């Protein structure tokens, strides 16, 4: 996506295209598409509900912000991050949040063909 900052043309370094769904702005088209999928799963009764951008506080005063916190009809609760490119900073925080919150299930979600692939 091309943006303008102080009169300069700025492009996202990973090529992510900001998008909007239901008046909500998402950092990438993939994240917006996954939001659509979660809404479909909620309408089908598989998902009780979900919230966006839950924050997890980490040692050292840092924080990890996930894309979605999901509450499933079968009682599961997990957090999901829609990923395209994994940066070194993400990888470090990913390990830290899993260590700090061992009772929570953290999943990375990536496009896989026409569907999605979940990774722990």
* Main-chain phi, psi angles of 64, to 5 degrees: -120, 125
In 3D space, the residue among 22, 34, 14, 36 whose CA is nearest the CA of residue 82 turns out to be: 34
pLDDT per residue as tens digits for the range 24-65: 899 899 999 999 999 999 999 999 999 999 999 999 999 999
Q: How many domains does the chain have?
A: 1
CATH of residue 40? 3.40.1350
Domain of residue 56, residue span: 2-119
One DSSP character per residue, 62-73 reads: -EEE-SEEEEET
- What residues does 4 pair with on adjacent strands? 9
Using the predicted structure, report yes or no on whether residue 10 has a pLDDT greater than 80.
Answer: no
CA distance 45 to 47: 5
């Amino acid at each position: 996506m091309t943006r303008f900052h102080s009169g300069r043309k700025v492009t996202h370094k990973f090529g992510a295209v900001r998008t909007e769904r239901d008046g909500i702005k998402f950092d990438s088209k993939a994240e917006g598409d996954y939001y659509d999928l979660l809404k479909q799963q909620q309408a089908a009764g598989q998902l009780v509900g979900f919230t966006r951008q839950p924050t997890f506080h980490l040692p050292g005063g840092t924080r990890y912000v996930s894309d979605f916190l999901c509450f499933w009809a079968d009682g599961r609760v997990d957090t999901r991050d829609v990923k395209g490119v994994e940066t070194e900073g993400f990888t470090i925080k990913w390990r830290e949040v899993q260590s700090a919150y061992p009772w929570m299930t953290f999943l990375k979600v990536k496009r896989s063909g026409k569907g999605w692939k979940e990774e722990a």
